[in-house]
Structure 1
Amino acid sequence: MTLMMRFCAVVVHVIVLPLHLIKAVGLYKMYRRVFPFCLNRMAVKYNKKMYDKKKELFLSLPEFNKPGGQLTLLEIGCGTGANFEFYPRGCRVICTDPNPHFQSYLTSSMGKNDHLVYEKFVVASGEDMGSVEDDSVDVVVSTLVLCSVDSPAQTLREAHRILRPGGAFFFLEHVSADPSSWTYFFQYVLRPIWQYFGDGCRITQETWKHLQSAGFSQLKLRHIEAPFIFVIKPHIVGYAVK
């Protein structure tokens, strides 16, 4: 299967040569303006199918609130604000995303979720959140983000830095399938196309390995099969404690 997989991957790379050219001349930046619109539509469908999983995951958020304090949460790659409805009442939210064109969708989501307190929206990549102080938040959230950052390891280092001792990193991410499976075959072959239309999304990311080596004191992680097209069925869900 390996030889056939590599051959098919080469064919796909040839097919996407025009996209490589578009990116090389700087025109791909135009898609970043369109992507929030596309993601907004996809996020609604994703939440419907993963509602129970998200609700179960975020039920643990209040456990990391300081006694008598207000839960402070930072979301990496907040996108359109699809997670806001799952956060506990009174939670103080800091939003970060490298794409400034999400702002209008965030404003709309904030209006629909007025049970939260929104502190600010920071245009920043997950790898560089220097404007956020060390040990300053109770919880960091990442859903469907670690597949698209340039460096998952650096992003996790940043999350670890800004979490207070005893704080937690919550995650829900689609990941690579078993390398011996046909799902992985198609993930590998379709990588170039998926990465362009997913604004950097890498469907063969082995995110759990980065979490295991990120220096957290505890890691609660489960592999699950999500109810989606087979190439993005493999998911991981859980949280890690600093």
Structure 2
Amino acid sequence: MTVNQPCVCANCGKRLFAWLMAQGDDVYDKFISDRKRSLFANLHGNVLEIDPGTGPNLPYYPKDINLIGIEPNPFMHSYLKKEAQKLGFNNIDLRTSTAEQIDAEDNSIDAVVSTLVLCSVPNLAATLQEVLRVLKPGGSFLFIEHVAAPQGTLLRQVQSTIRPIWKVLADGCHPDRETWIALENAGFKSVNYEHFKVPVPIVSPQIIGVAIR
């Protein structure tokens, strides 16, 4: 007698997460648009985005940059390519690698971009070392990241409590990661950032800034 085993889809979580990201978040996108427009206004040359997802940053990029996307989730690729073509980025170089092992040469990138990504990388320190490796001397790391709420607050307690289930639901995201400390200790020549609040539970507060190699 054959016992039917339940069908297990190892990629279902990544496929679902890609679909959810493609739906967007109108509240957050509207809130963050001016900050993105200001942060990305002076991008030039070779620009590498870590985990560009479905392309929410593309509308804010200058059209004359050479754009490289490092996106490890293959189910994001079709959404990203569609958005890139719609906005005129027909030559985007999409590579399937990870933030801890960026598929790019040493000292080859003018700017690296990361938005809502450093919360979910398995090894934050290794990721920042990869950013430093691929950046040209004087190159910029531009980031917008959600981070841990202040110690002792109710929000910080909630972030820490829900972390195990949140990591499963949100593709590895750590809602209580003190990312700004890792940035300060990574070895950049300078790190400038500010904290700000967003009207979205759990993924607030956030930081925005620029680190220079």
Same fold (TM over 0.5): yes
The match for 1:41 is 23
**CA offsets per residue over residues 168-199 of structure 1, 9 Å max, x none?**
00000000001210000110111112111101
How far 1:112 moved relative to its partner?
Answer: 1.8
Q: Alpha carbon RMSD of aligned pairs, Å?
A: 1.8
The match for 1:201 is 173
The match for 2:83 is 109
Question: Is there any run of 5+ residues in structure 1 with no aligned partner, and where?
Answer: 1-21, 66-70
How far 1:60 moved relative to its partner?
Answer: 3.9
Count of paired positions: 208
How far 1:58 moved relative to its partner?
Answer: 1.4
1:121 to 75, 94, 100: 94
1:238 to 206, 209, 213: 209
2:70 to 77, 85, 96: 96
How far 1:85 moved relative to its partner?
Answer: 0.8
Contact 2:52 2:69 in 1 (8 A): yes
Q: Secondary structure of the equivalent of 1:141?
A: strand
Question: Is there any run of 5+ residues in structure 2 with no aligned partner, and where?
Answer: 1-5
Choose between structure 1 and 2: higher helix proportion. 1
How far 1:27 moved relative to its partner?
Answer: 4.5
Q: CA–CA distance in 1 between the matches of 2:24 and 2:155?
A: 21
Q: 1:75 and 2:62 equivalent?
A: no
Amino acid at match of 1:84: L
**Inter-CA distance 26–200: structure 2 relative to 1 (3 Å threshold):** farther
How far 1:122 moved relative to its partner?
Answer: 0.7
Q: CA–CA distance in 1 between the matches of 2:82 and 2:90?
A: 14
After the TM superposition, which parts of structure 1 deviate over 2 Å for at least 4 consecutive aligned residues? 25-29, 42-46, 116-119
Q: 1:55 and 2:55 equivalent?
A: no
Q: Secondary structure of the equivalent of 1:118?
A: coil
Q: 1:162 and 2:134 equivalent?
A: yes
Q: CA–CA distance in 1 between the matches of 2:136 and 2:29?
A: 29
Contact 1:217 1:241 in 2 (8 A): yes
Identical amino acids, percent of aligned pairs: 37
Normalised by the size of structure 1, how large is the TM-score? 0.81
How far 1:59 moved relative to its partner?
Answer: 2.3
